[in-house]
Structure 1
């Protein structure tokens, strides 16, 4: 990790001038710190673009990753990873008890990572891990989760619910992705008793939108870079300095304010400014309102 001032100058030089997702005079959000790591160090490089999932642990120092066929846990300080699920996956399709696909990643209040896997025989298997290593298959998972918001979301009526996806809420706002058809998506928000508002309109890149429940913000990709936007009426979209149009936001930890995004080409910090291959960029955002 390196001081952000010289990094920001480098990042802006690499990216060229940034544009806005919508006209605004608000200054870009400047990350407090930037760190880059090759995607191959975090997840199997065979990952398909549509299968990559990531989940930052509370505190932001551990990063879970899956390429759709297996899952790993990357320890940022040690700069090493270990497998959480058996690795082999689709290559072991003759073994009906092998992992066929990874269905989800989630951190529990107990500090453990839980990974939902689908086996080739159709059964579901849950694996767990913590900082010390893989814990193997488990039979039980926590009853409560730190990001559980189903009860809050149920308080808000969502128009056209059959085409509403990724619904998240806190006591002040609800946000969801609306499928408009023909590959067009809209990111929507509302307050209790208020009319729905469109935050952004685009394509499938909005599938990666992240909800920061603590600060009532949403983070999403745009053609110019990654945007953070408050959910209060009139809050403008604000670009995150140094991000690019092809960057894919994958996970955000509200406690530490670390954001993990996928960069298809080029590095993230001065140590890996112009390498080949994909990278994971880790950016620590400033507190909301600063």
Structure 2
């Protein structure tokens, strides 16, 4: 039962074709494409690969991009897979959606929370969690010990912060600097400011969740730019590269167990 997992972000599409529907299954193939290059997937990256038995993906880039991905799936010779896309529900895979309008929660955030809870439960008892996604945008989400998503923060990622300052501030066009305790040039000041803003948001959410649950939260971080935050975090955290894919597998397993198709 081969399984194709697809994560379509704001900048890139990432995918993994697994040998079976299992987080620990070997990947038959994997890759990433910038959204401008989606149209070459069928004739290049996916050509000649074993046909997936099931496919599940999450997309935050909009319906137009999703349609382009589905067209590529239809064009791969020998494939006949029905695409399924995650839409956040009120409850799924042990996680309860506390958003005011559950379906409006970003699919990537929902999937990441499900993947993160699975990681925590595999190691022992349930714990409150702060789940951080660092990419084009940054999200900092809180989940209690019962698996309820309490709410979260959204703030701009490093790139958006720098571009907004360059656009709104006369003469501020400088290269990316380094994170310093006491920046003494504009490049370092910009990079340090953005990094500490994200770290501060994580720390604030950590404190809120600690008070709410009365238990030290587990901090889990994912996203393409997560490694940049590692030296500046004030709390221990676990960096999980494939958190979205882990969540997609968990969702797919739960749905297949409940009914014949995803």
Give the structure with the larger helix fraction. 2
**Higher strand proportion, which one?**
1
Instruction: Assess same fold via TM > 0.5.
Output: no
Per the normalisation by structure 2, the TM-score is 0.30
**Larger relative contact order, structure 1 or 2 (CA cutoff 8 Å, min sep 6):** 1
